Amino acid sequence: MIAALVQHAVGAPLLNGGIFVFFVLVTLVIVFRASHRTKTAADYYAAGRSFTGPQNGVAISGDYLSAASFLGIAGAIAVYGYDGFLYSIGFLVAWLVALLLVAELLRNTGKFTMGDVLSFRMRRRPVRAAAAVSTLVVSFFYLLAQMAGAGGLVALLLNVSSKAGQALVVAVVGLLMIFYVLVGGMRGTTWVQIVKATLLIIGAGMLTAWVLGSFGLNLSALLGEAAAKSSHGQAVLAPGLQYGKNTTTKLDFVSLGLALVLGTAGLPHILMRFYTVPSAKEARRTVVWAIWLIGIFYLFSLVIGYGAAALVDGGPQRIASMPGQENSAAPLLAYQLGGEVLLGFISAVAFATILAVVAGLTITASASFAHDVYANVIKRGNLDPDREVRVARITAVVIGALAVLGGIAALGQNVAFLVALAFAVAASANLPTILYSLFWKRFNTSGVLWSMYGGLISSVLLIILSPAVSGTPKSMFPSLDFAIFPLKNPALVSVPIAFALGYLATVLSKNDIADPAKYAEMEVRALTGAFAERSLESPVDIPSQPRPPLRPMPAATAYSIPFGSTGDSPAELTAKPPELTPAAPIDRVLRRRVLMATGVLVVVVVLGVSVSMTRVLAAPPQGANTTPQLGPNTAADVGPEVAIPALGGIIQVGKTPAFVAVSPNGRHAYIANGKAQVVTVVDTAVNQVTATIPIPAGPPQFLAFAPDGRTLYVSIFNDQRTIHAIDVLDTASNTVVATIPQPARPYLAAVTRDGKRIYVPNHDTASVSVIGTDTNTVIAEVKVAPNPHWVTFSHDGTRAYTANHESNVVSVIDTTTLEVLATIPVGASPHSISVHPSLPLVANVNYDGGTMSVIDTNTNKVVATIPVGQHPQDIAWAPDGRFAYVVNEGSNSVTVINARTNQVTATIPTGANPTSIAVLPNGRQAFVSNVDSGTLTVLELTG
Amino acid sequence: MSTTERVGGVGTPPPVDPWAAAHTSTDFAMLRQRFRGFVFPMTAFFLSWYLLYVVLAAFAPHYMAIKIVGNVNIGLIFGLLQFVSTFAITTVYVQFASRNLDPLSSQICKRVEGGVW
């Protein structure tokens, strides 16, 4: 999008690509340099514990400031104002939990993974299995969201619009990421994070200084200008624009706030970073650095967000109307201020961010599988570290491949809820267990299992039952409705559930007594760091208990026998030589363990992949959810539930604007001016006429875009019925390139989704002509009931629907056999027809009946008839499918219908004799052509 | 500092578990009490301070919109104060830890690692 913008505005787009490649090369060099020092398990998982607190603090900021934090928060502030700022505060305050309660204690008691700490004084295998399940779920969902977002973001920045191109981008991201992980291990990815985070913060600092400088360092002036530029005015300076609609959305926000503040310290890929430093003191410095860097960065974001609103040409409206919507705010600002070089720099940093974050997630997931599941659950700790690292590397490849497949499947889908899910699971399953383990002596294995699985299952279940998955047109399955839980974020309920389950299960399981000696050991280790620094450098030498120097002991087992009451002491901290372990009836046990572990992995993977696959199969090809949603950008998740359009202004567009169509990219509106014999072009960023194209063949009446937007088909006829033709208009040059003669008056045509055929309703011959776009000649004719006005296609392209004015029916045409499959009686004089963006519904308006009919396309029956104004002439759906807009020519108004309840929610006045309506693909504005006023009425749809 | 050893008691063989010995020592009790005495109230404070902010933002947007200086309103000041308090708690904790926790914990650590217990 941005590249397209640059192309559009300046005409030199290759720079982005060059800077991207340069960045990738630099990171590859870094990874290679790190590779020859990655040999042991501690090297691979924890970078040999060689990083200093400040280095790790920068890296952890890099992990945390994903592309979403960077682009999403600045963008949310630019478009929604204050509400974007709220998210950044939750993300920041969360670090205090990590600083005070988690980081140091965790560093002192664990080795590589969350499972190390949780299993320290519990029955090792079930607890490790639970920790691994939770880690894999969180990491995989987070990874999937990042990968899907990567495709979207890079597509946005490099102007790759085809599905295949985006899939290729995801595959390349995946390959690079696997390479980072395999070759560089934790050390390589950490260095990549450090470089990237430094550049990101420098870049953001430059933008901030630039913005503040242009307002004379006056924050108030900046805020005033941002409010002046926004259509929401002063409302952008206070909370409530985005989620303040009703009590449910407000509670949803509180729930999200809770998930953010408690989830961060439970995110496995963040936790694992605490092991890359040599001591708890360095872990503390890590968090301190992270807090300062992240805090300062979010303060920058505040200025960048409002700065983008105030300074970008066209203001927040233009940002929101960009294909990347609010994600484009920071890049647009960079371009506005520093031209292409700064834009390329910011874009490349965003790309590097995705690479580094997915690499960190993959290491975490592979470590959890290899270390927790394979080495300790399956092999019971009897695995040499080299072999374990080999397993981790193989797992990383598998996870990387799955992430690529899942990411491709989820491309362009709304996967933002996966991020919300990741935070909610981290807050519900991980944090309560971590806190109980560290601070509650009595906490036992039952408590761990109930709390983890309870938190995991309740948060996943509540999300499945939430509006994020079903029940609204924006849901994953818009056609189903099992959303019995009203909140999109489950944390408000699932976090208390997890705490309560952990408590109750512990208190009620009287026989399951946690080993008090292990608790004593854990607490002393946690607070003092005894044996943490030295021993963890080389895991094989760890004594479980330090021995008085003068008393020779056979092995560390000397202490673990009397105190390891469950017989299941944490072997990862025990220097047990492998051969000393009882080689029990291992075959059967082993097989069971393998089955269990494979099961865990398969469940996670199948869930992830099938969710995205079904989404792809169930989703419309041109849904509204094409915005990339990355990282913890849950901003868009708590959207407004009620949109009452407001009048947005009037554009003079010539004498008789009878029909308006918006280009598929939303940048232009084309208006057919019949009497003037011109097509008028309006730039939707500024809502001004930018071109007037003469149509010498005759009066233009209707306009149909090819799906790629490059060609516009103009239906031409005159009142005397002596002229009937279709003009082919090239939108790049805005010139007519061909004229196709027609046998009768062509009404509103439609182009098939593949762009190969045009269907033209011939008003006077009761037929539809099928024209091949390659030769511009009629290749077939389909007889329908008299007289077809409008034609449109189903999303899968297998059906065409015509509204037949004189016979009060809608015809359904099979586009393969060109047979009429059904004729559906509707109201009096069906004039126009429109397919719902996601549900199996088609709606038409009945000109003489004054109604709108809704047809279920599965049964081909009318399922609702809704009274609207007089002489409804045109209908359009909101791109998210929540509302239908009907233009009433006879009552000079637009009727807004809630698609879910079929109730009229608003009626808005227009100019004289409104005849058509076109909605921008981003759903924010619509244009109504007023044929007798010579104007377009602009409707602000999002209120 | 105390070197009290309660584990084992008088006349019994040397203690078998140094962790338990360290755990029951008064030094460790003091370390834990100082740590918890700082961390728990501070956590309660910043969580309630944050939740107050979130609830106000969600349920009292008009209050947050009251302007104080120029275009700067209560909501913005409140939000910036969350940054200030986060930075302040971080700094205070680091100072507290290096002054009151680290000397004690490294002392205990040395004794545990050196096999004094």
Digit-coded pLDDT (tens) for A927-940: 999 998 888 989 88
Question: Do the chains contact at A548 and B94, CB–CB below 8 Å?
Answer: no
Supply the pLDDT for residue A303.
Answer: 94
pLDDT band per the 50, 70, 90 thresholds, residue A915: very high
Question: Do the chains contact at B58 and A239, CB–CB below 8 Å?
Answer: yes
Q: What is the spatial distance between Cα A494 and Cα A492, in angstroms, rounded to a whole number? A: 6
More confident residue, A561 or A663: A663
> 3-state class of A885 per DSSP?
strand
Supply the pLDDT for residue A533.
Answer: 54
- The average pLDDT across A768-786 equals 89
- A226 to chain B: closest CA residue: B71
What the block records as the tokens of A576 is: 């047990």
Element (H, E) at A104: helix A103-109
Question: Among A224-238, A302-316, A372-386, A616-630, where is mean pLDDT lowest?
Answer: A616-630
pLDDT band per the 50, 70, 90 thresholds, residue A415: low
Instruction: Check pLDDT > 70 for residue A13.
Output: no
Tens of pLDDT, residue by residue over A444-483, are: 999 999 999 999 999 999 988 888 777 777 677 777 888 8
Supply the pLDDT for residue A790.
Answer: 92
Supply the pLDDT for residue B41.
Answer: 96
Please tell me chain A's helix, strand, coil percentages from 3-state DSSP, rounded to the nearest 5.
50, 20, 30
Closest CA to A59 of A568, A50, A68, A73: A50
Question: Do the chains contact at B93 and A100, CB–CB below 8 Å?
Answer: yes
**Phi-psi group of B116: left, alpha or beta (phi > 0 → left; psi -120 to 50 → alpha; rest → beta):** alpha
- The average pLDDT across A739-750 equals 90
More confident residue, A643 or A551: A643
How far is residue A316 from each of residues A226, A233, A236, A938, measured CA to CA in Å?
Answer: 8, 11, 10, 16
More confident residue, A905 or B115: A905
Indicate whether B1 belongs to any domain: no
Across the A:B interface, residue pairs with CB atoms under 8 Å apart total 178
Supply the pLDDT for residue B7.
Answer: 42
pLDDT band per the 50, 70, 90 thresholds, residue B76: very high
> 3-state class of A178 per DSSP?
helix
Tens of pLDDT, residue by residue over A563-612, are: 223 333 333 333 333 333 333 344 455 555 554 554 444 444 433 443 33
- What number of CA atoms fall less than 13 Å from residue A703's CA on the CB side? 34
- The average pLDDT across A644-665 equals 84
Share of chain A above pLDDT 70, in %: 83
Instruction: Check pLDDT > 90 for residue A791.
Output: yes
Beta bridge partners of A517: none
- Closest CA of chain A from B86, distance in Å: 6
- The average pLDDT across A798-811 equals 91
- Mutate which: A86, A87, A88, A89, vs B, most B CBs within 10 A: A89
Supply the pLDDT for residue A258.
Answer: 92
Instruction: Check pLDDT > 90 for residue B81.
Output: yes
- The average pLDDT across A550-573 equals 33
How far is residue A20 from each of residues A15, A27, A182, measured CA to CA in Å?
Answer: 9, 11, 22
The answer to whether B18 faces chain A, any CB pair under 8 Å, is yes
Burial A702-726 (b: 16+ CB within 10 A, else e): bbbbbeebebbbbbbbeeeeeebbb
Residues of B in contact with A529 (CB under 8 A): 105, 109
- What number of CA atoms fall less than 13 Å from residue A350's CA on the CB side? 34
Question: SS in 3 state form for A366-425?
Answer: HHHHHHHHHHHHHCCCCCCHHHHHHHHHHHHHHHHHHHHHHHHHCCCCCCHHHHHHHHHH
pLDDT band per the 50, 70, 90 thresholds, residue B16: low
Measured in degrees and rounded to the nearest 5, phi and psi for residue A375 equal -70, -40
Instruction: Check pLDDT > 90 for residue A212.
Output: yes
More confident residue, A482 or A430: A430
Could you say which of B17, B55, B105 has the minimum Cβ distance to residue A528?
A: B105
Q: What is the spatial distance between Cα A817 and Cα A836, in angstroms, rounded to a whole number? A: 24
Q: What is the spatial distance between Cα A644 and Cα A905, in angstroms, rounded to a whole number? A: 8
Per the structure, how many domains does chain B have?
Answer: 1
- Closest CA of chain B from A168, distance in Å: 41
Tens of pLDDT, residue by residue over A274-303, are: 888 888 888 999 999 999 999 999 999 999
Supply the pLDDT for residue B115.
Answer: 73
Could you say which of B70, B75, B87 has the minimum Cβ distance to residue A82?
A: B75
Q: What is the spatial distance between Cα A665 and Cα A1, in angstroms, rounded to a whole number? A: 10
Instruction: Check pLDDT > 60 for residue A106.
Output: yes
Supply the pLDDT for residue A279.
Answer: 85
* Segment of A354-363, A422-431, A597-606 carrying the highest mean pLDDT: A422-431
Indicate whether B108 belongs to any domain: yes
Question: Do the chains contact at A545 and B17, CB–CB below 8 Å?
Answer: yes
Instruction: Check pLDDT > 80 for residue A314.
Output: no
> In which domain, by residue range, is B41 found?
18-113
Supply the pLDDT for residue A425.
Answer: 87
Class of domain A646-940: mainly beta
Residues of B in contact with A278 (CB under 8 A): none
Supply the pLDDT for residue B117.
Answer: 64
CATH number assigned to the domain covering A2-638: 1.20.1730.10
- The average pLDDT across B112-117 equals 74
Supply the pLDDT for residue A286.
Answer: 92
> 3-state class of A883 per DSSP?
strand
Tens of pLDDT, residue by residue over B29-57, are: 999 999 999 999 999 999 999 999 999 99
- Closest CA of chain A from B8, distance in Å: 14
Element (H, E) at A691: strand A688-694
Q: What value does the CA radius of gyration of chain B take, rounded to a whole number of Å?
A: 23
More confident residue, A156 or A858: A858
Share of chain B above pLDDT 70, in %: 85
Supply the pLDDT for residue A583.
Answer: 37
Mean pLDDT of chain A: 80
What the block records as the tokens of A752 is: 């098939």
Could you say which of A292, A549, A562 has the minimum Cβ distance to residue B115?
A: A549
- Would you tell me how many other CB atoms lie within 10 Å of the CB of residue A652? 12
- The average pLDDT across A880-891 equals 89
Supply the pLDDT for residue A657.
Answer: 92
- The average pLDDT across A834-859 equals 89
Domain ranges of chain A: 2-638, 646-940
Supply the pLDDT for residue A592.
Answer: 52
> 3-state class of A663 per DSSP?
coil
Residues of B in contact with A295 (CB under 8 A): 83, 86-87
Burial class, B37, CB count within 10 angstroms (exposed 0-12 / middle 13-18 / buried 19+): exposed
Supply the pLDDT for residue A589.
Answer: 52
Supply the pLDDT for residue A312.
Answer: 85
Supply the pLDDT for residue A775.
Answer: 87
> 3-state class of A862 per DSSP?
strand
Element (H, E) at A293: helix A280-311
Tens of pLDDT, residue by residue over A494-527, are: 999 999 999 999 999 877 777 788 888 888 888 8
Say if CB A162 and CB A153 are below 8 A apart: no
Closest CA to B49 of A92, A199, A895, A306: A92
Supply the pLDDT for residue A116.
Answer: 85
- Closest CA of chain B from A122, distance in Å: 17
Instruction: Check pLDDT > 90 for residue A687.
Output: no
Please tell me chain B's helix, strand, coil percentages from 3-state DSSP, rounded to the nearest 5.
75, 5, 25
Could you say which of A86, A529, A562 has the minimum Cβ distance to residue B16?
A: A562
> 3-state class of A927 per DSSP?
strand
Amino acid sitting at position A8? H
The answer to whether B20 faces chain A, any CB pair under 8 Å, is yes
Instruction: Check pLDDT > 50 for residue A65.
Output: yes
Supply the pLDDT for residue A566.
Answer: 34
Q: What is the spatial distance between Cα A935 and Cα A919, in angstroms, rounded to a whole number? A: 16
Element (H, E) at B76: helix B74-96
Instruction: Check pLDDT > 80 for residue A559.
Output: no
Supply the pLDDT for residue A321.
Answer: 67
Instruction: Check pLDDT > 80 for residue A562.
Output: no
Say if CB A343 and CB A6 are below 8 A apart: yes
- The average pLDDT across A50-77 equals 84
How far is residue A55 from each of residues A46, A65, A315, A735, measured CA to CA in Å?
Answer: 13, 15, 38, 59
pLDDT band per the 50, 70, 90 thresholds, residue A886: very high
Measured in degrees and rounded to the nearest 5, phi and psi for residue A295 equal -60, -50
